[in-house]
Structure 1
Amino acid sequence: MLTPVDSDSNAAIVIGAGLGGLAAAMRLGAKGYAVTVLDRLDRPGGRGSSVTQDGHRFDLGPTIITVPQVYEKLWAACGRDFHKDVDLRPMDPFYEVRWQDGSTFKARQKTDAMLAEVARLSPHDVKGYLKFLKDSERRYVVGFEGMVAKPMHKLWETIKVLPTFAMLRADQSILGLAKRRVKDPRLRMALSFHPLFIGGDPMHVTSMYALVAHLEKEFGVHYAMGGVQAIADAMVAVIRSQGGQVRQQAEVDEILVADGAARGVRLTSDEVLAAPLVISNADAGHTYRNLLRKAPRKRWTDRKLASRRWSMGLFVWYFGTKGTADMWPDIGHHTITNAPRYEGLLKDIFIKGKLADDMSLYIHRPARTDPSVAPAGDDTFYVLSPVPHLGFDDAVDWTTERDVYKAKVQAELQKYLPGFAERISTEMTLTPADFRDRYLSPNGSGFSIEPRILQSAWFRPHNISEEAKGLFLVGAGTHPGAGVPGVISSAEVLSKLVPDAPHIPEMKVAAE
């Protein structure tokens, strides 16, 4: 039975201890709310959490930290200094891109260094690259500074930026923009692949995402010592210092709604918690389809959710290797390898839902920067391959394909890490089926709803829900979208929508 809750209660419940949920709890704690964070996993961080196995720490999700000011602003809102709690290390180079013909491209922060890389690959594309940098900066001003931390639940906020979007050719894909600026197919890939970091198809995601190139150039790419898990742990410490609670292995089964307003939650254990303010960091699709399954819905019906295009799936192989710290000296902290096909592979993943034999890989070797990830002299690896999500008619059956596909990844990796398989000391894998089951992600997608132009801003599930008063959303499935800066910024949007906690009179607290 749900205990009635006063409208002036300062209780708030956050569903999910992902980075968006933890950021929301910090923001609400700074506003005076008594926050309880509930999460079904055994560690905070959600997709940014980690697993420690046989002395190796595997960061399960994001590994790259950009736009450090979003964390600095979050900590400052709580009266704290981010850099006293988290040790960020700048990367140089950011990452190395490799192609089948042996050519490489190192992404760096300084313009002169980047121009040298472009000139080495394709001298006649230097002028085009400089134009791309200007394109990127213009899109940053409009798309990041102007929209990321701004509420977009009112249609007018999207309508009024449409003329600028038209001028910037936001209807054109980021790959289309890269093709307009440079001729070399390798550079076209290097300038357009960034949406894959947030689950988007470069052939269809708006050219506004070229702003990432400016973000990298202006603010750098960083690694958090201790992994993103260290950021999540630091966030929990802030929440608890504010008087909030973070409860792990506490799964929410239902958001309770009465008279059109959120009243609290019921856990899978049947425990009921009452609060007039509920924030869901669960995937937007899971929130509306499952957590609100007993409540009437106006906009985000099952049919509406089914019509969305979802981000790609991920196959991730985590493994530790024995005695390899001095091996493969050419493989740095971040390496991106390319399949022979770029556009064809994207079509297989995003359009056809086909698990191809060829693949592009992201190789993360954090021991290059952070020795704590592995025993002395050893290595910890995280190898990611983009694959189709589970929503296609002939979805991949990962119970049969997991080992088959891992063998294909192993054969590809052998080109870059010769002899690595014989040195593996511990390993684990995650497939789209695991993302579905572990993170309750619709279709096992890695990044919720794909960030296409008509699935962004007002067209995305709103931060303030139209389905129940007092219900708000944060995280990858709402505005501004996926990626660590995006989910952290969704909590800043929340803070602009939720008023400060109501004052509860001293006598009333005592009477209770």
Structure 2
Amino acid sequence: MKDESTSFEPSDTRAIVIGAGLGGLAAAMRLGAKGYAVTVLDRLDRAGGRGSSIDQDGHRFDLGPTIVTVPQVFESLWEACGRDFRADVDLRPLDPFYEIRWPDGTRFNACSDDARMEAEVARINPDDLKGYRRFLRDSEARYVVGFEGMVAKPMHRLWETIKVLPTFAWLRADRSIYGHAAARVRDEKLRMALSFHPLFIGGDPTHVTSMYALVAHLEKEFGVHYAMGGVQAIADAMVDVVRSQSGVIRHGAEADEIVIRDGAARAVTLTTGETLEAPLIVSNADAGHTYDRLLRNHAKRRWTVPKLRRKRWSMGLYVWYFGTKGTKDHWPDLGHHTILNGPRFTGLLNDIFMRGKLSDDMSLYIHRPSVTDPSAAPEGDDTFYVLSPVPHIGWDDAVDWKAEEPRYREKVAAVLEDVMPGFRDRISTELVFTPETFRDRYLSPHGAGFSLEPRILQSAWFRPHNVSEEARGLYLVGAGTHPGAGLPGVVSSAEVLAKLVPDVRGQYDEQRLAAE
């Protein structure tokens, strides 16, 4: 397939991918399958980007995503490379997917079984059963349009977005996912349980489109899974595939600039001064970083610095990673995934997303992988990851996390003590990430956890395109481009890439033989 953005000669099969996050690795796999000689550059010492891990004192801390939904996007990726995903990655279904808790003691366990889910809804408010069933029908309709119809489809031409607008209007895409849940069920707890999912990709449920109701259908039909060894195991398996295609992964190699000549991307210069030439360049760096930093010496047509500053960015994340000694049999009702709601839902969202205010109250996401995966902790011990959504640091009067972190940790600990009594005395090792860590480690603008917030006017054509309009031969994958954040999104962005670049299979081997 030929695309007008392509700027390289068919005989030159070199490609550079900036960033070994899941989107960058998926791009390298797709390009390798199409015959490209791929070099992946990454500033970290381990592949996976935000999905990587840190080993500390016998504990493996999964730094970012912890669950796998829509596993078929990985299966399709592996199949394109002539491999079997299930043979390379041990994926385990979770039951329940997660437990949601409220301060008054109410609990909600999510799973894929219709009868059990209806029992959960009825236990909270039986009058909402009819509305819940309608919400599920809504979810399936949005899945067909929003996921099957758009996720893996190039959206860099405005017409692709315009032609779905009538359907979007019919589905009330203008309504927020929280507003849609509120139109279906009356109980405030159920409204939260049906609408919180956009937080997993950096969106405010009270402002992002109701199209995200499709997540309920995804969970119901395809389940929620955990990869043994964490998402790091998926990243490592992706590296193995890239290397089997003769691709090269270079760690400790940070891109400093994408070199543009005659309107086309031609090379990448590293912070060490080294320059690597290639006619096809894919950036898995945050879209904001790509356009603001990597193309800083190139006049932009669309993604100018002022325009980037006007965009709404996802929230920041405060993440406390810690290991506990001898707690395997402690807190038996605390499972793999637990969501602790604070006393407010919409009010807290408003503080985080609209006011940029760090509140005293909070909601927490607790990840306890050691109940499923013994490799996450030493025998008899536990590994935890506790996440609190917080404002990003691009606000005026942003939080100084160096000063605030110890105080905030104590507030988090006070909430955890109610569900994990005595946990502080059991901590054997710990590590904290704040939005400042995301800024410095992942080069994320404003320390945002998920790049641009997925609002309707920051999605599809309105999002930075997979094929850049700033330079020929330059492409984007990952959370900051279409279709967006989350494992299915970033992996699907590489599928979009594969539809935009030509197949050069056979040419790499021919060139290599000629050189020899």
Which TM-score applies when normalising by structure 2? Answer: 0.97
Aligned equivalent of 1:234:
237
3-state SS of paired residue (2:276): strand
Aligned equivalent of 1:115:
118
Measured in 2, the distance between the counterparts of 1:170 and 1:196 equals 18
Question: For each residue in 1:96-130, what CA deviation from the matched residue of structure 2 results, as whole angstroms up to 9, or x when unmatched?
Answer: 00000000000010111100100011100000000
Question: For each residue in 1:329-351, what CA deviation from the matched residue of structure 2 results, as whole angstroms up to 9, or x when unmatched?
Answer: 01000000001011110000000
In the TM superposition, what is the alpha-carbon distance from 1:406 to its structure 2 partner?
0.5
Q: Which moved more, 1:291-300 or 1:221-230?
A: 291-300
Aligned equivalent of 1:130:
133
Amino acid at match of 1:484: L
Amino acid at match of 1:415: D
3-state SS of paired residue (1:105): strand
Aligned length: 509
Q: Which moved more, 1:201-210 or 1:501-510?
A: 501-510
Amino acid at match of 2:92: R
Measured in 1, the distance between the counterparts of 2:417 and 2:361 equals 14
Aligned equivalent of 1:437:
440
Unmatched 5+ stretches in structure 2: 1-7
2:97 to 86, 94, 98: 94
Aligned pairs for 1:101-500 (under 5 A) are: 101-500=104-503
Contact 1:152 1:158 in 2 (8 A): yes
Amino acid at match of 1:208: M
Aligned equivalent of 2:42:
39
Measured in 2, the distance between the counterparts of 1:193 and 1:361 equals 12
Question: For each residue in 1:83-108, what CA deviation from the matched residue of structure 2 results, as whole angstroms up to 9, or x when unmatched?
Answer: 00000000000000000000000001
In the TM superposition, what is the alpha-carbon distance from 1:7 to its structure 2 partner?
6.1
Unmatched 5+ stretches in structure 1: none
Query: Aligned in 2, Cα 1:381/1:273: closer, same or farther, shift over 3 Å?
Result: same
In the TM superposition, what is the alpha-carbon distance from 1:394 to its structure 2 partner?
1.1
Measured in 1, the distance between the counterparts of 2:203 and 2:166 equals 24
Measured in 2, the distance between the counterparts of 1:111 and 1:456 equals 31
Contact 1:7 1:276 in 2 (8 A): no
Contact 1:57 1:373 in 2 (8 A): yes
Measured in 1, the distance between the counterparts of 2:496 and 2:266 equals 22
In the TM superposition, what is the alpha-carbon distance from 1:501 to its structure 2 partner?
2.1
Contact 2:10 2:504 in 1 (8 A): no
In the TM superposition, what is the alpha-carbon distance from 1:175 to its structure 2 partner?
0.3
Measured in 1, the distance between the counterparts of 2:418 and 2:490 equals 35
In the TM superposition, what is the alpha-carbon distance from 1:511 to its structure 2 partner?
5.0
% same residue: 74
**Is 2:29 aligned against 1:22?**
no
3-state SS of paired residue (2:211): helix
In the TM superposition, what is the alpha-carbon distance from 1:295 to its structure 2 partner?
1.1
Query: Aligned in 2, Cα 1:200/1:504: closer, same or farther, shift over 3 Å?
Result: closer
Measured in 1, the distance between the counterparts of 2:294 and 2:384 equals 36
Measured in 2, the distance between the counterparts of 1:504 and 1:183 equals 60
Contact 2:35 2:508 in 1 (8 A): no
Query: Aligned in 2, Cα 1:511/1:322: closer, same or farther, shift over 3 Å?
Result: closer
In the TM superposition, what is the alpha-carbon distance from 1:467 to its structure 2 partner?
0.3
**Is 2:514 aligned against 1:510?**
yes
Measured in 1, the distance between the counterparts of 2:234 and 2:440 equals 24
Measured in 2, the distance between the counterparts of 1:166 and 1:86 equals 40
Amino acid at match of 2:207: H
Amino acid at match of 1:488: V
3-state SS of paired residue (2:499): helix
Which TM-score applies when normalising by structure 1? Answer: 0.98
In the TM superposition, what is the alpha-carbon distance from 1:296 to its structure 2 partner?
1.5
In the TM superposition, what is the alpha-carbon distance from 1:510 to its structure 2 partner?
3.1
Question: For each residue in 1:163-217, what CA deviation from the matched residue of structure 2 results, as whole angstroms up to 9, or x when unmatched?
Answer: 0000000000000000000000000000000000000000000000000000000
Query: Aligned in 2, Cα 1:504/1:237: closer, same or farther, shift over 3 Å?
Result: closer
Contact 1:337 1:360 in 2 (8 A): yes
Amino acid at match of 1:202: P
Amino acid at match of 1:176: G
Question: For each residue in 1:431-467, what CA deviation from the matched residue of structure 2 results, as whole angstroms up to 9, or x when unmatched?
Answer: 0000000000000000000000000000000000000
Measured in 2, the distance between the counterparts of 1:234 and 1:265 equals 26
Measured in 2, the distance between the counterparts of 1:383 and 1:343 equals 21
